[in-house]
Chain A
Amino acid sequence: MTNAMTGVAAIAAGPLVEMTGVGVFRSGRWLVQGIDLEIRPGEIITLIGPNGSGKTTTAKTAIGIVRPDAGTVARSDDLVVGYVPQKLSVDRSLPMTVSRMMTLTTKASGVDIASALERVGMAHLRKAQVHDLSGGEFQRALLARAMLRRPNLLVLDEPVQGVDFSGEIALYELISELRESEGCAVLLISHDLHVVMAKTDRVVCLNGHVCCAGSPNSVAASPAYRQLFGARAAEALAVYRHQHDHTHLPDGRIAYPENSGHGHDDGHDHAGCGHDHGEPHAHAGETGASPGNKAAHDHA
Chain B
Amino acid sequence: MLDDFFIRALLAGIGIAIVAGPLGCFVVWRRMAYFGDTMAHSALLGIAMSLALQWSLLVSVFLISALVSMVLVLLQRRGGLSTDSLLGILSHSTLAIGLVALAFMPWVRVDLLGYLFGDILAVTRADLATIWIGAVAVGGVLVFLWRPLLAGTVNAEIAAAEGQSPERARIAFMLVLAFVIAIAMKIVGILLITALLIIPAATARRFATSPEVMALLAGLFGALASTGGLYLSLGTDTPSGPSIVVVALGFFLLALLPLPDLSRRVAVSPAKGETS
**Which residues of A are interface residues toward B (Cβ below 8 A)?**
27, 60, 63-65, 81-83, 85, 88, 90-91, 93-97, 100-101, 104-106, 118, 121, 123-129, 132, 149, 155, 170
Contacts and interface: CB of A to CB of B under 8 A. Distances in A.
A95 B211 contact: yes
A85 B155 contact: yes
B158 A94 contact: no
Interface residues of B, number: 38
Interface string B121-153: 000000000000000000000000001001101
Dominant SS among interface residues on chain A: loop
Contacts of B79: 27
B221 to A, nearest CB: 15
Contact of A100 (B163, B210, B263, B271): B210
B266 A129 contact: yes
Contacts of A60: 157, 161
A121 B157 contact: no
Contacts of A96: 154, 210-211
Contacts of A155: 161
A95 B213 contact: yes
A124 B268 contact: yes
A82 B162 CA distance: 7
B273 interface: yes
A100 B211 CA distance: 9
B214 A95 contact: yes
A11 B182 CA distance: 55
Interface string B210-248: 110110000000000000000000000000000000000
A58 to B, nearest CB: 14
Contacts of B31: 91
Contacts of A88: 154-155, 158
B29 interface: yes
A27 B158 CA distance: 23
Interface string B193-218: 00000000010010011110110000
Given A95-B211, A121-B274, A105 B163 contact: yes
Contacts of A82: 162
A60 B150 CA distance: 20
